[in-house]
Structure 1
Amino acid sequence: MAKITTRLSDKEIKAAKPRNKEYILSDGGGLRIRIKPNGSKLWLFNYTHPKKRKRTNLGLGKYPDLSLANARRIALDSKALIAQGIDPQENKKRQQQEHEAIQQNTFLKVSKEWFAIKQDDITANHATDIWRSLELHIFPNLNNTPVTAITAPKVIEILKPIEARGNLETVKRLIQRLNEIMDFATNYGLVTANPLTGIKSAFKKPKKANMATLQPNELPELINAIDNASIKHTTRFLIEWQLHTMTRPSEAAGTRWDEIDLEAKVWTIPPARMKKRRKHRIPLTEQTIALLEKMKPISGSREFVFPSDRDPLKPCNNQTVNMALKRMGFEGWLVSHGLRSLASTTLNEQSFEADLIEAALAHVDSNQVRSAYNRTDYLERRIPMMEWWSNHIVTARKSIQ
């Protein structure tokens, strides 16, 4: 006749006292509680392995942290697994591993993995800007959050205060970056779908504003301001270098001596420093070579043509020209990137070929098929245009003397 086990009660478990040796109280159905000499009470589920057909124990937890009712529920769940041929102990290990994987794949960890790939396709300055924006606005709130716990409402709540301050462009860029990170997590199977795909509709759209620049007839005023400004030689020559070469602020500020070929009269910017990750060659004119000659006594023995004041081993900050233009009275009127627009407008008005102007600006054709086949940079044909532009700047200076 089968032995009938009397079910345990909380009162009985609480009253169970430790002995010299551990002993077991049974609740029936394989559920047991082990009373240890030190007084701890541990739940066990004793069962026959569904495949090995051997008796084994599954530790469930400590009493009273795990109540009698919850221990019985886990025992019933374990029996259901055994009925399906699943070992509850192996199932528990798998669940723990999955939980650990979820906890380990925090937003910060996944962001670092995404960024390691992303930064290979962008310039160093752009990469720095991306990571700083995440450190400033996102990581303080989502640093240790598992990517599986990222939700649209949670992210919207983080971004709303930034929108309230009027920083709509910042919100727009952050949304783009957050979506890239979550797309990365989706593609690697860390989440089933990107929950942030539609969050941009929760925010105001930034109004498009034209880049602050000058009209071609205002070039003499700019030259006059540069000549009479109370600024360091390095900053003055950097402004002129950027104006003559039509380069982006970061490209001009980061100019290296080893990129300059004075014999061939060409400045070659490597792909790693270009926005579109394509090598960019710029014909050097008489005026740009003269600027380099002026910089040689200052930085000729260093790596960068325009070294930083604070640390000569580093280049000038890409905001150096912007700050100088503000001090010269051009705030709201001209930004450093606008020097390119000034050159472009002037050259277009002079009817230079559009392809030559676009090549000088290192723009990539928006027509992807045409861009894929058109790999020429028109270097030789750009020489007369660059010489005209440099001479035009000299003429503007003479007109105010």
Structure 2
Amino acid sequence: MKKSLYPQMKLSATGIKNAQPGPKDYKIFDGGGLYLLVKKNGSKYWRYKYRYRGKEKVLAIGVYPVITLKEARNKHLEAKRLLVDGIDPNEQKQRLYADTMAKYHDTFEKVAREWWSVNKEEWSDDHANRVILSLEKDVFPYIGAKPIKDIKTPEVLSVLRRVESRDALDLASRLLQRCNSVFKYAVQTGKATFNPAVDLSGVLKTRKVQHQASLSRNELPEFLKRLDGYEGARLTTLALKLLIYTFVRPGELRGAQWDEFDLEDRMWRIPAERMKMKTPHLVPLSDQVISLLEEICEITGKYDFLFPGERNRKKSMSENTMTFAIYRLGYKGKATGHGFRATASSILNEEGFNRDAIERQLAHMERNDVRAAYVHHAEYLDDRKQIMQWWGNYLVDAAKK
């Protein structure tokens, strides 16, 4: 007859279930050092008492009923086999726990936040906030808890596809760049062995852009000189100058009203209903713009609009007024009112200003960010103030070339 592994078994599933707490903790042995510890509060714990190198030790196996009698006996048998091999079951348990914790300690979120902390000193506060918020919203919920070294390329792509499916194509592209930087940092610091985002270049959709005719950096000075000598209405000249200095959309400029401007605070607050994306927008006012506004005020300060129509002062300037002026200056097909935004964006990016701050000043945003913009329309404001003053100074110098 085959000898039982548990010749002195005293426990049964029914007996364990019916074991009642007493005035003190007590033990019910199953044989071979395995026992059930019944606490006076009713809790029941599996324990294994053994000796290792002459010392008595106790291995915590688990809690009943999460660990059944059968499972407890199997774990007990595994521990006894370790002892036969000269391995302390408690030390083995600690090693396995340490390995598991080490694996899960360096999660994507943890490493991403570490990367962010290392780099944020090089960024403006607004940009740093923008970066971490985008990761918290669109990346951490999906791969944040995963060990960074176990994340595969398809998992990263799946995260980006979620953003792409919302038609937030610019955001998806920026998130790819940020994930790529996080994985690169993980490889550099030994937390991962490869970068699963590096091969995703070109896989995301891009928005087809219909470019408006715009001036290059080299062409801008000549245009400014011609504008200074424009022989048409002075108010039209001032409108074009204000358009170039603020690089808002032509419709946003034509509809500008005096109550939107705070010269003391040096800010133009365009209400949401007048913006393309239906969100409020802030335009910091440079010294040059303040001077332009003072001159414009002498002409139209008594009206609601900065640029009222010639026939009806209660309506804004015609959308064709500035376009015809550009034609008269000799730039038909070469420049548009909207194109000055592209010119400004190109030059500012070449100068190394914060890309996200430039985009916010251009009032560019993903459609999924529309609601958030009511709260964050002042993002990167310090950077934007610097950008707008630099741009004003640049235009003055360019007109002298």
TM bucket, shorter chain = 0.5 to 0.7
1:89–1:123 CA distance, 2 compared to 1 (3 A) = same
Are the equivalent residues in 2 in contact too, given 1:82–1:88 (CA < 8 A)?
Answer: yes
Which residues of structure 1 form unaligned runs of 5+?
240-297, 300-305, 311-316, 343-357, 364-388, 396-401
Q: CA deviation at 1:141?
A: 4.2
Residue by residue over 1:216-270, the C-alpha shift from the partner in whole angstroms, topping out at 9 and shown as x without a partner, is 26546776799522998xx98777xxxxxxxxxxxxxxxxxxxxxxxxxxxxxxx
What secondary structure, in the 3-state scheme, does the structure 1 residue paired with 2:62 have?
strand
Q: CA deviation at 1:114?
A: 0.3
In the aligned structure 1, how far is the partner of 2:343 from the partner of 2:266? 20
1:40–1:134 CA distance, 2 compared to 1 (3 A) = closer
Are the equivalent residues in 1 in contact too, given 2:149–2:194 (CA < 8 A)?
Answer: no
Q: CA deviation at 1:61?
A: 1.6
* Alignment of 1:26 onto 2:34: no
What secondary structure, in the 3-state scheme, does the structure 2 residue paired with 1:198 have?
helix
From 3, 6, 26, the counterpart of 2:9? 6
2:399 aligns to what? Answer: 393
The AA in structure 1 aligned to 2:45 is L
The AA in structure 2 aligned to 1:115 is W
In the aligned structure 2, how far is the partner of 1:391 from the partner of 1:158? 46
Matches within 5 A, 1:350-369: none
1:182 aligns to what? Answer: 183
Are the equivalent residues in 2 in contact too, given 1:213–1:339 (CA < 8 A)?
Answer: no
1:333 aligns to what? Answer: 339
In the aligned structure 1, how far is the partner of 2:284 from the partner of 2:102? 45
2:90 aligns to what? Answer: 89
1:154–1:97 CA distance, 2 compared to 1 (3 A) = same
1:186–1:66 CA distance, 2 compared to 1 (3 A) = farther
In the aligned structure 1, how far is the partner of 2:85 from the partner of 2:226? 85
TM-score w.r.t. the length of structure 1 is 0.53
Are the equivalent residues in 2 in contact too, given 1:81–1:87 (CA < 8 A)?
Answer: yes
* Alignment of 1:80 onto 2:81: yes
1:141–1:341 CA distance, 2 compared to 1 (3 A) = same
What secondary structure, in the 3-state scheme, does the structure 2 residue paired with 1:32 have?
strand
1:208–1:85 CA distance, 2 compared to 1 (3 A) = farther
1:55 aligns to what? Answer: 56
Are the equivalent residues in 2 in contact too, given 1:162–1:168 (CA < 8 A)?
Answer: yes
What secondary structure, in the 3-state scheme, does the structure 2 residue paired with 1:334 have?
helix
Are the equivalent residues in 2 in contact too, given 1:172–1:200 (CA < 8 A)?
Answer: no
TM-score w.r.t. the length of structure 2 is 0.53
2:139 aligns to what? Answer: 138
Q: CA deviation at 1:33?
A: 1.2
In the aligned structure 1, how far is the partner of 2:107 from the partner of 2:12? 42
Residue by residue over 1:319-340, the C-alpha shift from the partner in whole angstroms, topping out at 9 and shown as x without a partner, is 759xx9xx98856523265476
1:32–1:195 CA distance, 2 compared to 1 (3 A) = farther
The AA in structure 1 aligned to 2:114 is E
Residue by residue over 1:51-82, the C-alpha shift from the partner in whole angstroms, topping out at 9 and shown as x without a partner, is x3212111112111111122122223323333
In the aligned structure 2, how far is the partner of 1:7 from the partner of 1:201? 67
What secondary structure, in the 3-state scheme, does the structure 2 residue paired with 1:60 have?
strand
The total of aligned residue pairs comes to: 276
Are the equivalent residues in 2 in contact too, given 1:45–1:58 (CA < 8 A)?
Answer: yes
2:18 aligns to what? Answer: 15
1:114 aligns to what? Answer: 115
List structure 1 runs of 4+ shifted beyond 6 angstroms: 206-212, 221-226, 235-239
The AA in structure 1 aligned to 2:31 is G
Are the equivalent residues in 2 in contact too, given 1:213–1:338 (CA < 8 A)?
Answer: no
Q: CA deviation at 1:159?
A: 1.6
In the aligned structure 1, how far is the partner of 2:115 from the partner of 2:239? 44
Residue by residue over 1:163-203, the C-alpha shift from the partner in whole angstroms, topping out at 9 and shown as x without a partner, is 23444343232112112212323333434544434344653
What secondary structure, in the 3-state scheme, does the structure 2 residue paired with 1:57 have?
strand
1:148–1:68 CA distance, 2 compared to 1 (3 A) = farther
RMSD after superposition: 4.7
Q: CA deviation at 1:145?
A: 5.0
Residue by residue over 1:292-321, the C-alpha shift from the partner in whole angstroms, topping out at 9 and shown as x without a partner, is xxxxxx89xxxxxx96568xxxxxx99759
Q: Percent identity?
A: 30
Residue by residue over 1:327-357, the C-alpha shift from the partner in whole angstroms, topping out at 9 and shown as x without a partner, is 9885652326547659xxxxxxxxxxxxxxx
1:11–1:180 CA distance, 2 compared to 1 (3 A) = same
What secondary structure, in the 3-state scheme, does the structure 1 residue paired with 2:87 have?
coil
Are the equivalent residues in 2 in contact too, given 1:151–1:195 (CA < 8 A)?
Answer: yes
The AA in structure 2 aligned to 1:229 is A
In the aligned structure 2, how far is the partner of 1:148 from the partner of 1:7? 47
1:18–1:336 CA distance, 2 compared to 1 (3 A) = same
Q: CA deviation at 1:94?
A: 3.7
1:228 aligns to what? Answer: 238
In the aligned structure 2, how far is the partner of 1:7 from the partner of 1:182? 55
1:43 aligns to what? Answer: 46
In the aligned structure 1, how far is the partner of 2:123 from the partner of 2:73? 57
The AA in structure 1 aligned to 2:47 is L
In the aligned structure 2, how far is the partner of 1:222 from the partner of 1:205? 36
In the aligned structure 1, how far is the partner of 2:89 from the partner of 2:337? 70
